[in-house]
């Protein structure tokens, strides 16, 4: 029976008292699950026992093993958490409760629910990371027995594993879990690719094993000759990491050079560096393939020297050199610290888990579910570069990060006030891609007006992108409030013949706000500005409320303000005044598509009148005859439609195109052309050409689109001929 094997496993390292606790938990769980069976046909109790055995391989403590045995009791039986507490105490009950909550995470549920559950998982980790280690072991055993489930459920579980759980095991540094989670997830999600790769590797297994044996033998002789006591091991690279490397590099198996890997485990750190020197003298090292993770550990605590050399047969192989303690941490990760809670402080462990605290700090700023999922995959579950502050502190960032990402990782204000950067003492552009080992200095200025929208196209991390968006959301809201207030004041004055301030003072506006579910008048102003509600609709509500509660505020019918009869729309060109030239032919330049509100200038053409350009039009740079420039201005009383084009970039998802076009249509604008393109990375771009009346209306459209879930950037582009 599996439980006897578990007892044998824990007998090697747990005390008799601890073993009794684990046995008591097993008896309790077996009785609770009595009569229950898994889809595979085996008794249900076999599953929690298998999970506990997986954890015993990591030498899990007694409380963790007991919680593993009990982890499904509350959810799948009539046992309550209170009963667990009474029988086993608060600590085990808390672990069981944490695992029970995490078991409800479903990768293909609605994104908002998924993100909510993932946030709970990270919060649970912050309280006691053992909760997630139990969950990882639970997932690993489920994958080992996945054949019993329907194909669609197999794929769903495998995808969830590769996207969330395997990267999480990597972050915790539990390589034993990571490799098996990846390979099993790979097998079920991409069965054909898995089988083909496995067969290719198997066909050359004997050849590789012979070469590894030769390398190990040479190394053992070398170390013995120099009096260094060390253990030399060979290891195989897991299939999924090989597959990902082939996909990333666009190569086949013959071009993957680190299929061979040998590990040297020494007694001391100084021995590690001595072994490295001996190896480089024996075999030629490959340039650019040396990494010192001893001097600069990974955030999950991993330490080792990595180098790739040309072996005795001229075949490249990777060599890892580390101490026994480093090897234990590499294999078990955070699980090498099972008992850290019994000590008052563990500074080393705290440093290794700092990434979790950083995540918890900035994830609270993200209300958008898509943004949070993007953040997980980019900021948390991605490869890292390690750079230094001028004081020597190590900052880890995703590969591809820029000085701006570094600045926002340090502090929001450092990012907002950034005016430049230095890399290794030299000025570098803000778009510079950081490399491991760079010393990064951020130049700031208190006179800085804040971030530029262009920065959204430069930054790599979702943390930086979120902080930049937050800045502009706040800035846009202030602008929206001022614009919406002016619009409503004008509408109320024109239609009702009364000042908006009088309606506010009389309590009329407050009653309308409550009925329309706006928390305050500023929120209503902002909604009017970005197109969430029309000023006409609000004015009608204010009129009805005033008639009911404050009729004396409204003028009598014979005192009503005369209605303004709208003028017949005129052509766009009639909206431009050319200084000192009446009746001249005017054309709006197609290269920049100016609209009322844009700063403009005219250019006298030969035989085609005056062409009007935006002042920021790139074409103006090529017009060298400055004598032909002429001052122009907009006529505010002319209302016409003007062609414009915007480019939106966002996370590609169903309904995004419809939501964007709906925002434009709701503003009363006519869409003349629209194209959408998807990208392999899951994002997409949408170009939309439409007609607008002026710059303010265009800004409302852009602001409305920016509010849509998953939108990354929205910008106006130049017109035809761009």
Neighbours of 631 (CB within 10 A): 11
Cβ–Cβ under 8 Å, residues 539 and 496: yes
Q: Give the tokens for residue 477.
A: 């809201």
Rounded Cα gap, residues 664 and 669, in angstroms: 6
- Judge contact between 492 and 503, C-beta under 8 A: yes
Q: What's the rounded Cα separation, in Å, for the pair 233 and 260? A: 11
Q: Residue 382 — φ and ψ, nearest 5°?
A: -120, 165
Residue 138 falls in the annotated catalytic set: no
3-state secondary structure of 396: strand
C-alpha angle with apex 64: 58 to 70, nearest 5 degrees? 125
Q: Which helix (H) or strand (E) holds 250?
A: none
Contact 69/48 with Cβ under 8 angstroms?
Answer: yes
Q: Are 628 and 603 in contact (CB under 8 A)?
A: yes
Residue carrying the six token digits 């999924």:
240
- The answer to whether 601 and 700 have CB atoms below 8 angstroms apart is no
* Bridge partners for 442 per DSSP: 421
β-strand pairing of 586-588 with 384-388: unpaired
Q: How far apart are the first and last CA of the chain?
A: 74
Cα(316)–Cα(595) distance, integer angstroms: 63
Q: Where are the alpha helices (DSSP H) in 381-429?
A: 403-410, 412-416
Say which of 34, 75, 325, 457 is annotated catalytic.
75
Indicate which residue of 76, 159, 489, 659 is catalytic. 76
Residue for token pair 């979120």: 466
DSSP string, 682-717: SEEEEEEEEEESSHHHHHHHHHHHHTSTTEEEEEEE
How far, in Å, CA of 495 to CA of 562, rounded?
9
Distance, CA of 64 to CA of 639 (rounded, Å): 72
| CA pair distance 37, 50, nearest whole angstrom | 14
How far apart are alpha carbons 418 and 444 in whole angstroms? 4
Residue 31 host element (H or E): helix 16-32
* d(C-alpha 424, C-alpha 379), whole Å: 24
Q: Greatest CA separation found in the chain?
A: 112
Residue 118 pairs with which residues in a beta bridge? Answer: none
Secondary structure element (H or E) that encloses residue 577, with its range: strand 576-578
The token pair that represents 554 in the structure block: 């409204």
* Token pair listed for 203: 């066909």
Name the H helices within 33-89.
46-57, 62-70, 73-76, 81-88
Give the burial class of 644: count Cβ atoms within 10 A of its Cβ; 0-12 exposed, 13-18 middle, 19 or more buried: buried
DSSP letter (8 states) at residue 277: H
Three-state SS at 623? coil
Active site residue 76: yes
Which residues are designated catalytic? 75-76
């Amino acid at each position: 029976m599996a439980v006897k094997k578990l007892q044998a496993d824990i007998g090697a390292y747990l005390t008799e008292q601890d073993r009794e606790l684990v046995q008591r938990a097993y008896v309790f769980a077996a009785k609770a699950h009595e009569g229950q069976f898994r889809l595979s046909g085996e008794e249900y109790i076999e599953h929690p026992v298998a999970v506990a055995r997986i954890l015993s391989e990591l030498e899990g403590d007694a409380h963790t093993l007991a919680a593993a045995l009990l982890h499904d009791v509350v959810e799948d039986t009539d046992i309550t958490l209170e009963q667990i507490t009474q029988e086993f105490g608060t600590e085990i009950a808390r672990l069981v409760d944490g695992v029970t909550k995490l078991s409800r995470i479903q990768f293909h549920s609605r994104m908002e629910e998924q993100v909510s559950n993932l946030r709970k998982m990270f919060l649970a980790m912050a309280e006691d990371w053992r909760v997630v280690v139990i969950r990882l072991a639970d997932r690993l055993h489920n994958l080992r027995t996945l054949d019993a489930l329907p194909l669609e459920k197999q794929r769903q579980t495998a995808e969830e594993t590769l996207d969330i759980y395997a990267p999480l095991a990597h972050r915790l540094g539990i390589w034993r879990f990571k490799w098996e989670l990846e390979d099993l997830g790979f097998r079920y999600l991409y069965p054909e690719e898995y089988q083909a790769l496995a067969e290719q590797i198997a066909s050359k297994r004997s050849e590789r094993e012979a070469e590894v044996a030769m390398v190990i033998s040479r190394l053992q002789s070398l170390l013995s000759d120099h009096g260094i006591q060390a253990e030399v091991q060979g290891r195989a690279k897991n299939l999924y990491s090989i597959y990902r490397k082939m996909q990333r590099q666009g190569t086949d198996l013959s071009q993957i050079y680190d299929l061979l890997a040998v590990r040297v485990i020494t007694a001391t750190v100084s021995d590690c560096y001595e072994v490295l020197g001996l190896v480089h003298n024996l075999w030629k090292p490959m340039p650019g393939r040396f990494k010192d993770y001893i001097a600069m550990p990974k955030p999950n605590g991993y330490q080792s020297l990595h180098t790739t050399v040309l072996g005795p047969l001229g075949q490249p192989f990777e060599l890892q050199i580390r101490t026994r303690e480093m090897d234990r941490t590499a294999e078990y990760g955070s699980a090498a610290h099972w008992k850290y809670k019994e000590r008052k402080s563990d500074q080393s462990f705290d440093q290794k888990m700092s990434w979790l605290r950083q995540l918890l700090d900035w994830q609270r700023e993200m209300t958008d579910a898509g943004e949070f999922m993007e953040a997980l995959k980019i900021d948390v579950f991605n490869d890292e570069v390690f750079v230094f502050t001028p004081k020597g502190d190590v900052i880890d960032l995703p590969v591809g990060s820029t000085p701006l990402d570094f600045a926002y990782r340090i502090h929001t204000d450092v990012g907002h006030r950034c005016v430049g950067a230095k890399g290794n003492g030299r000025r570098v552009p803000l778009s510079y891609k950081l490399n491991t080992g760079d010393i990064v200095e951020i130049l700031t200025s208190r006179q800085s007006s804040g971030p530029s929208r262009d920065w959204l196209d430069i930054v790599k991390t979702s943390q930086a992108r979120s902080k930049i968006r937050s800045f502009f959301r706040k800035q846009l809201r202030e602008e929206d409030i001022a614009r919406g207030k002016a619009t409503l004041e004008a509408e109320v004055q024109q239609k009702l013949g009364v000042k908006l301030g009088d309606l506010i003072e009389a309590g009329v506006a407050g009653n309308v706000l409550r009925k329309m579910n706006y928390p305050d008048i500023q929120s209503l102003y902002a909604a009017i500005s970005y197109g969430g509600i029309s000023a006409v609709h609000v004015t009608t509500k204010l009129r009805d409320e005033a008639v009911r509660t404050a009729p004396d505020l409204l003028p009598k019918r014979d005192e009503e303000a005369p209605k303004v009869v709208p003028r017949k729309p005129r052509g766009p060109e009639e909206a431009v005044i050319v200084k000192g030239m009446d009746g001249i032919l005017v054309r709006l330049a197609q290269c920049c598509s100016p609209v009322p509100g844009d700063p403009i200038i005219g250019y006298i053409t030969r035989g085609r009148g005056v062409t009007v350009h935006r002042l920021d039009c790139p074409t103006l740079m090529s017009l060298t005859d400055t004598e032909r420039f002429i001052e122009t201005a907009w006529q505010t009383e002319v209302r016409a439609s003007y062609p414009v084009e915007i480019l939106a970039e966002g996370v590609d998802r169903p309904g995004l195109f419809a939501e964007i076009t709906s925002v434009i249509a709701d503003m009363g604008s006519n869409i003349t052309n629209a194209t959408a393109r998807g990208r392999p990375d899951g994002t997409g771009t949408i170009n939309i050409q439409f007609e607008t009346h002026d710059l303010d209306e265009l800004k409302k459209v852009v602001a409305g689109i920016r509010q849509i879930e998953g939108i990354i950037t929205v910008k106006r582009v130049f017109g035809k001929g761009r």
